[in-house]
Amino acid sequence: MTEKHLIALDLDGTLLKNDKTISPLTKKVIKKAMDHGHEVMIATGRPFRASEAIYHELNLTTPIVNFNGAFIHHPKDKDWGMYHSPLDIKTTRDIVEACQNYSFHNIIAEVIDEVYYHYHDEKLIDIFSMGNPKVTTGNLLEFLEAPPTSILIHAEEEDVKTIREHLSDVHADLIDHRRWADPFHVIEIVRSGLSKAIGLQKVSDYYQIPQKNIIAFGDEDNDFEMIEYAGRGIAMGNAINELKIRADEITLTNEEDGIAIYLNEALNLKAL
């Protein structure tokens, strides 16, 4: 019997194919891993409402990491605890005010499953409407009263760099920021020190699974800490080079069942 493992899956570009579905083969291997007693969890930058359907599709029974570690909870066990680490409201207001000095399209604040738009924006509303959030539109300085889980700044590609430089200069000790993968020129801001790795640590402690028995899969810069924290950090074949450098191993792409192929062999599942 293989020792019990914790398997952490990023969603976009990792578990999900480019059409945002999970391949039947990957689903079959994940089920087999769970049948063998391994724990499978999701660790994503998405809010819970945009990952809940996938959680249920895989029949998971584990806690989930959302907003890159800013929100961690157990959908099936309310006694497990809820860890929400939002941004400071004053810092948020400072950032919104500072953005007025730069060129940007919109600022979006998410408070767990509520979404606040600085400007009305049909295109973005479409992207964020997954899971039917409560939506408020209007000047964030007036309408946003609760500390947000994350802030997103949507701007032109050349302006993203300038705004990020300002954020690093002024707020480096309070926030962490990353940019989304193309085609979205979006800066994502969360409280400093948060990452998916924090969620992995909480969940592995809960299941008493040692760090060496954590297998994590990812493809983007928000997976750096998780891939480095896991005993086996696996980069997808389609991952950015900076992640591949940090990974212990590289598997096939998200279109080629990279997760299934890797887990089947690593855990001796004999599912293929």
For the question of residue 10 being annotated catalytic, the response is: yes
Residues sharing a CB contact under 8 Å with residue 184, sequence separation 6 or more, in sequence order: 154
- Catalytic position from the list 10, 159, 176, 223: 10
Across the strands, what pairs with 27? Answer: none
Q: How far apart are CA 118 and CA 108, in angstroms?
A: 6
Residues sharing a CB contact under 8 Å with residue 101, sequence separation 6 or more, in sequence order: none
CA atoms within 13 A on the CB side of 113: 10
Q: Give the closest residue to 257 by CA, choosing from 15, 40, 9.
A: 15
Q: Give the closest residue to 8 by CA, choosing from 57, 65, 76.
A: 65
Catalytic residue annotation? 10
